[in-house]
Amino acid sequence: MAESFKTRDAMLHTIRINRGRRLPRNSHQGGFETVGSCTMELVSRVVICAVGTGGDVLPFIQIGSALAGRGLPVKMLGPGRYKSYADALGIDYESIGSEDIFSEVFDGHEVWNPRKGTAAAWRYYTAAMHSGYELIARRWSPAGTLLVSSTFALAARLAEERDGFANTTVHLSPSVIFSAMSPPKWPAASIPPEYPLWLKRGAMSLVERLALDPVIAPGVNKVRALLGLKPVAKVFSCWIHSPRRVVYAFPAWFAAAAADWPHQGVHGGFPLQLQRGLALPKTVNQFLAMRPDKPTVLVTAGTAVAHGAGWMKRCILGALAAGAKVIAVGSSAPSQNVDVDVLWIPFAPFETLFRRVSLVVHHGGIGTMAEALRSAVHQLAVPNAHDQFDNAHRLAREGFGEVGRANWSTAEFTTAIGRALADSRNEMRRLRCGRLMADQDRGGETVAALVLGLEAPAQPYVGATAMATSLAG
């Protein structure tokens, strides 16, 4: 993609946007689509659409901050409860989707059920798609506007297809890529990677036709019909990807692109938080200083789980039995701590705290995992729904953690935590992790550059095989 820059009052950026590009019939888009309103357009504003929980939305605020740092006015559309995070970085933010529906979905239980989670989440995604598209179409012109959208922020895809806006889809997790060559791990059941390719392709087609499209497509096509657009199928495997550009907001060593990933995709990096060196609360520092002979294990089920996770209590008891003290982070913190070796807190700056603990036990969210990788701390992932299973699998494959189960007993957590704390290979893992994550502080900048069509720096890759060889030696 060619690009040039011109200096104007607002430091306008010029990028090349293909118009009416003919797409291969076997591509992820499967036909023709207009992907930009002109061939050489001055981009004078960026509109970011992001939906989902904090782990889905907050990285896009970091990306928006990086784009604003390049002199571009940035507007962000997302769930209203995350506006304060955008305000803190000076990003103009507006709510899309009903806040009542958001609370009903993401503060409820069904969305965290491996079998019911997809249907629950799409109740909000559909509402955000409708209101988000109306806002984009009413307020901005395709000329001069560049859209950036999260995986399920489909308002931008509608604006791209119907009105000719330029859009870039940014995927935070590799689990959303339908791939027979490299099948992701799914919550309810997964396709074994050792199956022959023809069988994996057939199985994935059946999964989408019988399980995903019946849940997702009706809501999408209802909105499309209101806009005079024809219905679409294969929403998850095909339509969610912008035909103009897809950015993978994770490094290639974490998930290398398979041959059947979107042909327009390019790797960026983890868009980690830029606020480094935030001070820990006094109570946390005091707890860390107590009983220095005991290792500290941090346990969290993610900020999105409003009612907590049942496995956390068993995990905490297991960590105590393994001889550790525990910092438990989550919204389900009790009013007072009941054990001298357990500190419950509702929030902590992970970018600071992770460097002070020996093990992080978490839900497998991509943001928490990436922050732990940056801190080079060993991990135990306990996935429950959505992308968490695939993230945990990739973490373990690279040797940076283990995978647990939410139905483990206290004794099973004790065994796993004790094994992780005593593993003699932890120091070698820490050094390798530090090398791989050395440039990830610039992950948001890299994604921003890719959104604008600029080249990203090459990223080092040391695969699990090389890791196993070095450990064996």
Which CATH number is 233's domain given?
A: 3.40.50
Report the pLDDT averaged over residues 390-395.
Answer: 92
Measure CA 369 to chain center. Answer: 10
Residue that wins the pLDDT comparison between 106 and 166: 166
Distance in angstroms (rounded) separating the CA atoms of residues 180 and 52: 26
Give percent of the chain above pLDDT 90: 39
Q: Which pLDDT band holds residue 24 (cuts at 50, 70, 90)? A: very low
Nearest to 168 by CA among 13, 20, 36, 11: 36
- Host domain of residue 343: 282-440
- Whether residue 468 is contained in a domain is answered as no
Report the pLDDT averaged over residues 8-13.
Answer: 36
Number of domains in the chain: 2
For the chain, give the number of residues: 473
Distance in angstroms (rounded) separating the CA atoms of residues 38 and 195: 44
Name residue 284's amino acid.
V
- Of 13-17, 93-97, 110-114, 262-266, least confident by mean pLDDT is 13-17
Name residue 204's amino acid.
M
Residue that wins the pLDDT comparison between 424 and 468: 424
The confidence score (pLDDT) of residue 23 equals 37
Report the pLDDT averaged over residues 211-217.
Answer: 88
- Whether residue 354 is contained in a domain is answered as yes
Angle (nearest 5°) at CA 379 between 377 and 382: 155
Q: Which pLDDT band holds residue 335 (cuts at 50, 70, 90)? A: low
Neighbours of 88 (CB within 10 A): 11
Structure tokens at 78: 């997302």
pLDDT at 421 over 50: yes
pLDDT at 224 over 70: yes
Do 175 and 115 fall into the same domain?
A: yes
The confidence score (pLDDT) of residue 32 equals 29
pLDDT at 146 over 90: yes
Do 25 and 164 fall into the same domain?
A: yes
Do 83 and 199 fall into the same domain?
A: yes
- Whether residue 117 is contained in a domain is answered as yes
Residue that wins the pLDDT comparison between 444 and 180: 180
Do 218 and 111 fall into the same domain?
A: yes
Q: Helix/strand/coil (H, E, C) string of the chain? A: CCEEECCCCCCCEEEECCCCCECCCCCCCCCECCCCCCCEEEECEEEEECCCCHHHHHHHHHHHHHHHCCCCCEEEEECHHHHHHHHHCCCEEEECCCHHHHHHHHCCCHHHCCCCHHHHHHHHHHHHHHHHHHHHHHHCCCCCEEEEEECCCCHHHHHHHHHCCEEEEEECCHHHCCCCCCCCCCCCCCCCCCCCHHHHHHHHHHHHHHHHHHHHHHHHHHHHHHCCCCCCCCHHHHHCCCCCCEEECCCCCCCCCCCCCCCCEEECCCCCCCCCCCCCCHHHHHHHHCCCCCCEEEEECCCCCCCCCHHHHHHHHHHHHCCCEEEEECCCCCCCCCCCCEEEECCCCHHHHHHHCCEEEECCCHHHHHHHHHCCCEEEECCCCCCHHHHHHHHHHCCCEEECCCCCCHHHHHHHHHHHHHCCCHHHHHHHHHHHCCCHHHHHHHHHHHHCCCCCCCCCCCCHHHHHHHHHC
- Whether residue 252 is contained in a domain is answered as no
Distance in angstroms (rounded) separating the CA atoms of residues 52 and 172: 12
Report the pLDDT averaged over residues 267-281.
Answer: 76
Q: Please report, for the domain that includes residue 386, its CATH number.
A: 3.40.50.2000
Q: Which pLDDT band holds residue 112 (cuts at 50, 70, 90)? A: low
Do 207 and 319 fall into the same domain?
A: no
The confidence score (pLDDT) of residue 339 equals 73
Report the pLDDT averaged over residues 115-121.
Answer: 73
- Whether residue 335 is contained in a domain is answered as yes
Do 286 and 338 fall into the same domain?
A: yes
Nearest to 89 by CA among 271, 214, 262: 271
Do 56 and 140 fall into the same domain?
A: yes
Do 43 and 165 fall into the same domain?
A: yes
pTM listed for this prediction: 0.83
- Whether residue 292 is contained in a domain is answered as yes
Do 73 and 182 fall into the same domain?
A: yes
The confidence score (pLDDT) of residue 351 equals 84
Name residue 70's amino acid.
R
The backbone region for 18, taken as left when phi is positive above 0, alpha when psi lies in -120 to 50, beta otherwise, is beta
The confidence score (pLDDT) of residue 34 equals 34
- Whether residue 267 is contained in a domain is answered as no
Do 75 and 165 fall into the same domain?
A: yes
The confidence score (pLDDT) of residue 241 equals 94
The confidence score (pLDDT) of residue 362 equals 92
- Whether residue 57 is contained in a domain is answered as yes
Do 200 and 288 fall into the same domain?
A: no
Report the pLDDT averaged over residues 324-351.
Answer: 79
Distance in angstroms (rounded) separating the CA atoms of residues 407 and 392: 16
Do 23 and 159 fall into the same domain?
A: yes
Q: Which pLDDT band holds residue 191 (cuts at 50, 70, 90)? A: confident
The confidence score (pLDDT) of residue 462 equals 36
Integer CA distances (angstroms), 76 to 186, 243, 271, 314, in order:
30, 22, 16, 39
Nearest to 302 by CA among 391, 201, 423, 177: 391
pLDDT at 133 over 90: yes
Contact, 270 vs 66, CB < 8 A?
no
Burial readout 296-314 (b: 16 or more C-beta within 10 A, e: otherwise): bbbbbbbbbbeebbebbeb
